[in-house]
Amino acid sequence: MANALRIGLAGLGTVGTGVIQLIEENSALIARRAGRPIQITAVTARDRSKDRGVDLTPYRWVDDMGELATAADVDVVVELVGGSDGPAVTLARETLGAGRALVTANKAMIAHHGAELGALADAQGAPLKFEAAVAGGIPVIQGLRDGAAANRIDRVYGILNGTCNFILSAMERDGRDFGEVLADAQAKGFAEADPSFDIDGVDAAHKLSILASLSFGSRIDFEGVDIRGIRKIIAADIAQARALGYRIRLIGLAEVDGENGGASLFQRVQPCLVPIDHPLAHVAGATNAVVAEGNFSGRLLFQGAGAGDRPTASAVVADLVDIARKETGPAFSVPTTELDELPRATAAHRINKTYLRMLVADRPGVLAEIAAAMRDAGLSIESLIQREVADGSALIAMVTHEAREQAVTDTLAALKGSDSLQGEPMVMHILGE
């Protein structure tokens, strides 16, 4: 058997220790499948004295993680430090610059610096692998880059954040409001003490920008993702959606608008109403799911555990196996210099059905006022539910017929400042086929 592939591991959190456990437990199986042993030789983390539940004595401890980039006993650096900038990106640059392979689970770093790191990897002939950066243990990166390589991908979308899906599923199951479910999720360890990255949609946007680049052969444009999270969803939205035949999910969606010289990239993360007969409507709990639509393959569905130490460690080691087999190639399917620089598409012309929820004064003429604003904007109602709530208010939830998003914007602009509305309306688009 060939010489071992030697690993320098930076970061010993739950994923890092999961990588150690996986390599130790499945070492013989991994060696057979990789064609050579995969061995951790050096490790590093902030605190050397911390008990991590694994035996680190077989491995050389490195105080300065930058040493891993050029260490004589390291062939591949695994970066599990996290963060879009700082030590993580410095280590990535130094590793690739030295012609060493880099494996990372760092979605934020790839979303912000993927083009730069991809170009450096191409120039040095060094593998850059990041399967674990998107959807945990689901092999969606390899599926898009290799399995769907012959296809033109027209659209990619899915449930990309397990915390948000856990919260929405719990709201759906228990009939509780967002704040109560979030507090419970934090108490149980399903959500971070500061959950902003998750519940505000940033984490999902990182992943979406990576998927878009792989799917469309375009440069990563994280800044171009329109992001809206789930903070403003209330139990009534969940109930009304169910009554109308939908479930609410945080959906990241990317597609290319137009063709040839007029192509532009649309990227958005937002809560959507998903038809009950759509596969994503039945994805519950902390599960992730990604749908890619190829012109020959049709709809491809990738589903599984989107986070956690064991699934993410599995994805990291899968990348190591590819490197051991010398199954690499450009990080983003094509050389970085050949990635398209697509302009950002606007949403105004997009045609959707839309869910609108409004808390209004419970008095005659209010519905007529709303209907008049919709009529003037070219927006019509497909279905509507109205129910009384406390203190002389009523809740109106409706689904519109298909119309340009600009019509929804114009409707709300016309109603802005009206004393009929009590609070800001909630807008969610319907996920179409």
Is residue 405 situated within a structural domain? yes
Write out the two tokens for 174: 């228990």
If asked whether residues 11 and 78 sit together in one domain, one would say yes
- Contact criterion met (CB below 8 Å) for 295 and 173: no
- Selected residue with higher pLDDT from 120 and 190: 120
Return the half-sphere exposure (C-beta side, CA atoms, 13 A cut-off) of residue 214.
Answer: 30
Q: Are 143 and 318 in contact (CB under 8 A)?
A: no
20-28 long-range contacts (CB < 8 A, ≥24 apart) are 20/54, 20/56, 21/54, 21/313, 22/310, 22/313, 22/314, 22/317, 23/317
Number of structural domains in the chain: 3
Give yes or no for residue 10 having a pLDDT over 70.
yes
- Note whether residue 225 is domain-resident: yes
Segments in 175-261 forming alpha helices (H): 178-187, 196-199, 202-216, 235-244
pLDDT range class, residue 286, cuts 50, 70, 90: confident
pLDDT, tens only, 226-257 = 999 999 999 999 999 999 899 999 999 999 98
Report if residue 318 sits inside a domain: no
Contact, 35 vs 69, CB < 8 A?
Answer: no
Task: Please check whether residue 340 lies inside any domain of the structure.
Answer: no
| Terminal alpha carbon distance of the chain | 50
Burial class (CB within 10 angstroms; exposed 0-12, middle 13-18, buried 19+) of 85? exposed
Q: What tokens were used for 142? A: 């390899």
Q: 26-84: per-residue pLDDT in tens?
A: 999 999 999 999 999 999 999 888 988 999 999 999 999 999 999 999 999 999 999 99
Please tell me whether residues 153 and 210 are part of one structural domain: yes
Which residue reads 């939830």 in tokens? 397
What is this structure's pTM? 0.94
Percent of the chain with pLDDT over 90: 86
Q: What are the CB-based long-range contacts (under 8 Å, 24+) for 191-198?
A: 191/163, 191/166, 191/167, 192/163, 195/163, 198/161, 198/163, 198/164
Identify the band that residue 379 occupies on the pLDDT scale cut at 50, 70 and 90. very high
pLDDT for the residue numbered 159: 97
Q: What is the mean pLDDT of residues 286-301?
A: 94
* Segment 340-363 mean pLDDT: 94
Instruction: Using alpha carbons, list the distances in angstroms from residue 63 to 47, 60, 112, 338.
Output: 9, 10, 27, 39
| Predicted pLDDT at 12 | 96
Distances (CA, A) of 179 to 126, 176, 186, 231, 267: 46, 8, 11, 8, 28
Please report the pLDDT score of residue 188 as a whole number: 77
Q: At 267, which CATH number? A: 3.30.360.10
pLDDT band at 388 (very low <50, low <70, confident <90, very high): confident
Catalytic residues: 207
- The reply to whether 335 falls in a domain is no
- The two beta strands, 351-352 and 298-305, are unpaired
Is residue 333 scored above 80 in pLDDT? Answer: yes
Give the position of tokens 């050579």. 36
The answer to whether residue 185 sits within a structural domain is: yes
341 assigned to some structural domain: no
Q: Show Cβ contacts of residue 103 under 8 Å, excluding neighbours closer than 6 positions.
A: 76, 77, 78, 79, 129, 130, 132, 316, 319, 320, 323
Q: Does residue 72 lie in a domain region?
A: yes
Instruction: Using pLDDT thresholds of 50, 70 and 90, give the confidence band for residue 260.
Output: low
Q: What angle do CA 70, 74, 78 make, to 5 degrees?
A: 95
**Residues 144 and 208 reside in one and the same domain:** yes
Q: Residues 201-228: what's their mean pLDDT? A: 97
Give pLDDT, residue 35.
95
pLDDT recorded at residue 126 = 96
Instruction: Provide the pLDDT confidence category of residue 433 given band limits of 50, 70 and 90.
Output: low
Question: pLDDT grade, residue 191 (50/70/90)?
Answer: confident
Mean pLDDT across 179-187: 89
What residues make up the domain containing 420? 351-429
For 93-149, what is each residue's pLDDT tens digit?
A: 999 999 999 999 999 999 999 999 999 999 999 999 999 999 888 999 999 999 899
Same domain, residue pair 199 and 161: yes
Residue 220: how many other CB atoms lie within 10 Å: 23
Residues 155 and 275 in one domain: yes
Q: What is the pLDDT of residue 1?
A: 60
Per-residue pLDDT, 136: 84
Q: Rounded mean pLDDT of the chain?
A: 93
At 21, is the secondary structure helix, strand, or coil?
A: helix
Cβ partners under 8 Å of residue 86, min gap 6:
none
Residue 167 and residue 118 share a domain? no
The answer to whether 378 and 432 have CB atoms below 8 angstroms apart is no
Distance, CA of 371 to CA of 34 (rounded, Å): 64
